[in-house]
Amino acid sequence: MTLPRTEQLTADTALDRMDGPAALSRMIDVQVAAVESLRPVTGELEAAARLVASALAGGGRLVYAAAGSSGLMALADAAELPGTFGIASERILLRMAGGVPVDGTMPGDTEDDTEAGRAVVAELRADDVLIVLSASGTTPFPTAIAEGAKARGTRIVAIACNPGTPLLAAADVAICVETPPEALAGSTRMGAGTAQKAALNLISTRAGILLGHVHDGMMVNLVADNAKLRARAMHIVASVTGVSDDAAAHALDRAGGAVKRACLIASGAAPEAAQALLDAHHQHLRPSLGALIAQQDA
């Protein structure tokens, strides 16, 4: 029987026969190769990001569904989006088989629970976008969700590491990340997990760019809820506008901590006018700044 790639042994994989540095180097090689496997699917990643951005720009939600280590990768991405891009937490849902673990216990049998998957389907709306993950592409829990989501009109992004699998077949955007066999056969928390996390990071970051939350490589819609992030917000405003740190901090105070508004305020707009400019330009800072400069030059 031919095993799927995620279950196969990679060449030179006798890790237990290698000394420590050699074994670690071999594992690193497989991890790097796994990330490189994302390059052939950049078109699909872009299509997925556009679906996510479209849902979040409207009234929809971003819903992640997965089991096991794939679920942990989804959790890592989902939990960062409110702080990084200022996306309201109620617009992001994570549905992990068996629930999110609060300790080291993650029962394996929950990934087979199709009934729980069908319960998730009942939560979905037509304006949502669903990202389902499974390294194998055959895990019952996310597959049941993907198959049921179509009937509700929910757009589906599927990420799997084996081609021709049920999860990919159910998707509007199917992303087959053909990672190499694992250094530890079948341990998809390693190479496949790394590739899935990278794929999610790429999709969500590109979606953030499309939503206007990135300006010159900076997070202009971050939520500055600790000292480090308040300092970062001040630095962003100063970098974008060329004002002093003190002036940037004052603009942030006038903007209620909102970085985009603060950039416009630091550039000469009143707080109400700053918000009006952003609303007129779909929350994108660059055209808002351009419009402000044109007003000032008129």
Buried b (16+ CB within 10 A) or exposed e, 141-162: bbbbbbbbbbeeebbbbbbbbb
Q: Decide if 36 is catalytic.
A: no
* Residue of 80, 115, 182, 272 marked catalytic: 80
* Residue of 36, 46, 90, 111 marked catalytic: 111
Q: Which residues pair with 134 in a beta bridge?
A: 160
Any residues with CB less than 8 A from the CB of 27 and at least 6 apart, and which? 15, 183, 184, 190
Residue type, 121: V
The span from the CA of 112 to the CA of 116, in Å, is 9
155-160 β-sheet, strand order: 92-96, 62-66, 129-134, 155-160, 173-176
Distance of CA 77 to the CA centre of its chain: 5
The span from the CA of 98 to the CA of 110, in Å, is 5
SS3 content of the chain, % helix, strand, coil (to 5): 55, 10, 35
Instruction: Identify the helix (H) or strand (E) that includes residue 240.
Output: helix 227-241
Q: Which letter does DSSP use for residue 7 in this model?
A: G
Q: Decide if 178 is catalytic.
A: no
Give catalytic residue positions.
80, 111
